[in-house]
Amino acid sequence: MKDETTAAGGADLEAELDGLVAAFAGLRRDLEQVLLGQRDVVEAIVCALVADGHVLLESPPGLGKTTLARSIAQSCGLDFQRVQFTPDLMPGDILGARVLDEDENGRRRFVQHRGPIFSQVLLADEINRATPRTQSALLEAMQERQVTLYGETHPLDPVFIVLATQNPLEMEGTYPLPEAQLDRFLAKLILPTPGEDDLVRVFETTTGGAVPALEARLDHGSVRRARALAERIAVPSDLVRRCARMVLASDPNHEHAPDAIRTNLRYGSSPRGGQALMRLARAHAFVRGGLHVDEDDLAFACVPALRHRLVLNYEGEAQGVATDDLARLLLEHASA
């Protein structure tokens, strides 16, 4: 880290920052060895972990979404649970339920069994295959960070993060997440197909078996501390204003919206999208070892934070417009 002990709150704090930054750098390197050819995705998901936000992962089957989620939990020393979403999955299968049990004396009583949501890293596999009722049960818990079962409220773990996946190739028989629920995800990441050299490395070093054991570089406490320190990363006022301009310009009815936004979007980003942009930019600054957010951090966070919050209209869908391009346009427009 830079020698700015006054801004960082003293030499001890700066040393702690250095240690955490080094640990997260090691985490990225480990994940890049497990998920070959996905360097940008690995960096973004590590930033989302620091930013305390849930992530939606999208790609065809076989590109490592499940492997990535499991490896993150292993490297951070966190409890991992996986739920395969299907049309017959019920909210109780995720949240938990009460069952009638009999003790050793023959007395019957209701016992509460907690569901997989009471974990630290939850993989919601193929979330768009579950019914809206089941999706809502999960997404409500994601937002409130607590679960209410039979009138009793149970807080979730402080480091709780959901990594949800969906397959864009098989949409028949699915229940696409509505815009209001997509907004609960801090970031949406799309895993590209690896290049030729990366595929060669995959074929040479793996056989599609178990994920190799990773060193636990972090633990529960260090993840919480990293999140607390990332929140203290300074954001210059001009970048905050630029973020506000991006959110406003994403509204196709706004007077300062670019022509491409007016033509191709039905809805733009909510203020929550701007908050996600700031949180992800702060986390990126922290992970790279910076003490303040700069333009590169904002540019890095732009597409993951906004791509799922920009809703195309009929014309935009017919023309095959990419929301990634519109997110970059908003960044450029706000910088002018």
pLDDT tens digits, residue range 268-312? 999 999 999 999 999 999 999 998 999 999 999 999 999 999 999
Average pLDDT over residues 183-204: 89
Q: How confident is the model at residue 11 (pLDDT cuts 50, 70, 90)?
A: low
274 CB contacts (<8 Å, ≥6 apart)? 243, 244, 246, 247
Domain with CATH 1.10.8.80 in the chain: 233-336
Range of lowest pLDDT (17-21, 77-81, 217-221): 17-21
CB neighbours of residue 215 within 10 Å: 11
Asked if 301 and 274 count as a contact pair (C-beta separation under 8 A), the reply is no
Residue 53 to residues 61, 81, 307, Cα–Cα distance (Å): 24, 17, 15
Is the domain 1-219 a CATH 3.40.50.300 member? yes
Q: What is the pLDDT of residues 112-131, one digit of tens each?
A: 788 899 999 999 999 999 99
Please determine, for residue 265, whether its predicted confidence score (pLDDT) is greater than 90: yes
pLDDT grade for 204, boundaries at 50, 70 and 90: confident
Residue intervals of the chain classified under CATH 3.40.50.300 are 1-219
pLDDT at 6: 41
- Say if residues 172 and 132 touch (Cβ distance below 8 Å): no
pLDDT in tens, 30-83: 999 888 888 999 999 999 999 999 999 998 888 888 889 999 999 999 999 999
Question: Kind and range of the H or E element at 28?
Answer: helix 11-34
Q: What fold characterizes domain 233-336? A: Helicase, Ruva Protein; domain 3 (1.10.8)
Parallel, antiparallel or unpaired: strands 146-149 and 96-102: unpaired
pTM: 0.90
Residue 13 burial (CB < 10 Å; 0-12/13-18/19+)? Answer: middle
User: What residues are paired with 121 via a beta bridge?
Assistant: 80, 161
